[in-house]
Amino acid sequence: MLGQMMHRPLSVIEILKFASENHKSAEIVSVRTEGDIHRYSYAQAFERVAQMAHALGRMGIASGDRVATLAWNGYRHFELYYAISGIGAVCHTINPRLSAEQMIYIIQHADDQVLFVDTTFVPIIAALRSQLPQGLRCVVMTDRAHMPDSDLDLLCYEDLIADCPKTYDWPEVDENTACGLCYTSGTTGNPKGALYSHRSTVLHAMSLCISLGRFLQEGTRVLPVVPLFHVNAWGLPYGAPLAGASLIFPGGALDGPSVYKLMDEERVNSAWGVPTVWLGLQAEIAAKGRNPNGFSSVVVGGSAAPRSMIEKFEKSGVSVCHAWGMTEMSPVGTHGILPADMIATKSLSERLDLQQYQGRRVFGVDLKVVDENGESLPHDGTSVGELYVRGNAIISGYFDNEAATAEAFDSEGWFGTGDIAVIRPDGFLSIQDRAKDLIKSGGEWISSIDLENVVMSHPMVANCAVIAVAHPKWDERPLLVIVPAGQEHVSKAEIDDLLLQHVAKWQLPDAIEFVDELPLTATGKVSKLTLRQKFANYMLPDMK
């Protein structure tokens, strides 16, 4: 027997409509490429979204068309998220840190009709012009006074919307209609597209508000350092208006001092981003001797948060949520907010033990760990295998890419993450490594994350990465690459002593190399691929 309930399609534009009516005191604050700060309410945003929807219609954009963005976190980018999906078209966010080759590939693969671009990125478009599809129109996300000098045929965002009505008769779209498209950064091979639907996006936003609710409430001032140009800024452009939180968009200045200043001036409560950004912020906090005003929580994800980073935040009164997810998962899969009873009863050290894991699954995401034969392993805290996921906000295939799709799922339709993990009886997920980053030594595995976690706690280490180096006898051995915190280099003996408190002797890195900085991926994570290439012919001491 079926239930007798109305079927109202889940729709992204309804989120902003809801916020415009119900969260009157929340605001969107943006550091603009024009150099100043812009602020307005969700109601004002909703009006400009309507204007942009009209402008898109005038440009001939119809349901199902792909409209691309190449932009920082700011209010115009936010408007495009809603205007494009609101008319039934697809908002394709492009990561400006992709290589030219990858960018051209995804613009062609997505068949983008229009490209919205921040002034900062106009030079990228100019450099690529000969390879861009003919007929691709470019709109610069600024006003007439700030339009760049360029011989490209560029349209102006503010001109486009200037005379458009501030209301729009939003069409009712099927909830399975695509609303957003984001390509993985594709460390190997071509990028692969995750095509989000209205349904998956709304369900993900609700799940975010429930699971991370303590960090995302009515009145919270949230800073997404995580970019709108990659994986929907972890769902914040949807979750924040739903919850009634304010969004503080940082624009392009993401270094420690700039982030600190913005957080301090705008009294940001909750800041979300990858560990590399927080290393910069923590250095600035140390220099200033205090936290930014109002700072009370941080969400760290995208790569493993070192225990020492979590400890520094927690000791200064900032609650940490260590989260895990993927582009293919919208992206949030697990969150590390501790259960209230643990916060009340556990010591700091016991809490840190748990927080270095990647947390518990959010509602709507199922997790399983399987062995090499695809058999499910128990959630016993020790059985290690590949992590598979399924859920309402997880891709069912890659956009227009049968080959990649065929490889990504098991026979029961679960998506293979490529992460090696353990699930504990209490539900906490522990990511050991990406399968391709594990170090295979004499038939045993060494987790690069485990070693990095310990090394990061040394005061003479600003950042580090452990990578595999080919070895004639052991297959691979670990090489530790350190960015020193000061002038002096920590000795190998000292690092070994520290590591031996946590890992077995055979897991110790064979050598240490010091570098000024670590290479980053397009999403701001340490690029182990680039490091492995750099040290491809490295001679470990016992090979010389």
Where are any strands of DSSP class E within 293-410?
297-300, 319-322, 324-325, 332-335, 360-361, 365-370, 385-391
The DSSP 8-state label assigned to residue 409 in this structure reads B
Helix (H) or strand (E) holding 261: helix 256-266
Confirm or reject binding of residue 356 to ligand ADP (CB under 6 A). no
Q: How far is the CB of 433 from ligand ADP (least distance, A)?
A: 8
Task: Give CA–CA dist 493/481, Å, rounded.
Answer: 15
Confirm or reject binding of residue 85 to ligand ADP (CB under 6 A). no
CA angle 321, 387, 99 (to 5 degrees): 75
Q: For residues 222 and 195, is the Cβ–Cβ distance under 8 A?
A: no
Q: Binding mask 24-53 vs ligand ADP (x if CB under 6 A, - otherwise)?
A: ------------------------------
Task: Give CA–CA dist 34/37, Å, rounded.
Answer: 9
Confirm or reject binding of residue 232 to ligand ADP (CB under 6 A). no
Q: How far is the CB of 418 from ligand ADP (least distance, A)?
A: 6
Q: How far is the CB of 183 from ligand ADP (least distance, A)?
A: 9
Known catalytic residue at 328: yes
Q: Which is nearer to ligand ADP, 238 or 357 (CB)?
A: 357
Confirm or reject binding of residue 185 to ligand ADP (CB under 6 A). yes
Q: Which is nearer to ligand ADP, 301 or 391 (CB)?
A: 301
Q: Which is nearer to ligand ADP, 183 or 535 (CB)?
A: 183
Please list, in sequence order, all residues whose beta carbon lies within 8 angstroms of the beta carbon of residue 178, skipping any fewer than 6 positions away. 64, 90, 195, 196, 197
3-class SS of residue 103: helix
Picking from 349, 247, 270, 277, the residue whose alpha carbon sits closest to that of residue 308 is: 349
Helix (H) or strand (E) holding 247: strand 246-249
Binding-site residue total for ligand ADP (CB under 6 A)?
A: 21
Buried b or exposed e, range 216-235, using 16+ CB within 10 angstroms: beeebbbbbbbbbbbbbbbb
Known catalytic residue at 284: no
Q: What percent of the residues of the chain are helix, what percent strand, and what percent coil, each to the nearest 5?
A: 35, 25, 40
Known catalytic residue at 27: no
Q: Which is nearer to ligand ADP, 269 or 334 (CB)?
A: 334
Known catalytic residue at 445: yes
Instruction: List the one residue from 358, 447, 448, 507 that touches ligand ADP (CB under 6 A).
Output: 358
Helix (H) or strand (E) holding 446: strand 444-446
Q: Read off the tokens for 44.
A: 């004002």
Find residue 320's DSSP bridge partners: 298
Q: Which is nearer to ligand ADP, 247 or 431 (CB)?
A: 431
Candidates 187, 445, 530, 534; catalytic one:
445
Q: How far is the CB of 519 from ligand ADP (least distance, A)?
A: 13
Task: Give CA–CA dist 179/172, Å, rounded.
Answer: 13
Q: How far is the CB of 336 from ligand ADP (least distance, A)?
A: 8
Q: How far is the CB of 213 from ligand ADP (least distance, A)?
A: 19
Q: Which of residues 305-324 bind ligand ADP (CB under 6 A)?
A: 322, 324
Confirm or reject binding of residue 178 to ligand ADP (CB under 6 A). no
Q: Which of residues 371-430 bind ligand ADP (CB under 6 A)?
A: 417-419
Q: How far is the CB of 90 from ligand ADP (least distance, A)?
A: 19
Q: Which is nearer to ligand ADP, 418 or 427 (CB)?
A: 418
Instruction: List the one residue from 180, 239, 292, 302 that touches ligand ADP (CB under 6 A).
Output: 302
Q: For residues 28 and 78, is the Cβ–Cβ distance under 8 A?
A: yes
Confirm or reject binding of residue 357 to ligand ADP (CB under 6 A). no
Instruction: List the one residue from 193, 239, 273, 301 that touches ligand ADP (CB under 6 A).
Output: 301
Task: Give CA–CA dist 159/272, Å, rounded.
Answer: 33
Q: Which is nearer to ligand ADP, 91 or 389 (CB)?
A: 389
Q: Which is nearer to ligand ADP, 147 or 529 (CB)?
A: 529
- Dihedral angle, C-alpha 305, 307, 308, 314, nearest 10 °: 90
Q: Which residues bind ligand ADP (CB under 6 A)?
A: 184-185, 231, 301-304, 322, 324, 326-327, 331, 358, 417-419, 431, 434, 521, 523, 525
**Which residues are known to be catalytic?**
184, 328, 440, 445
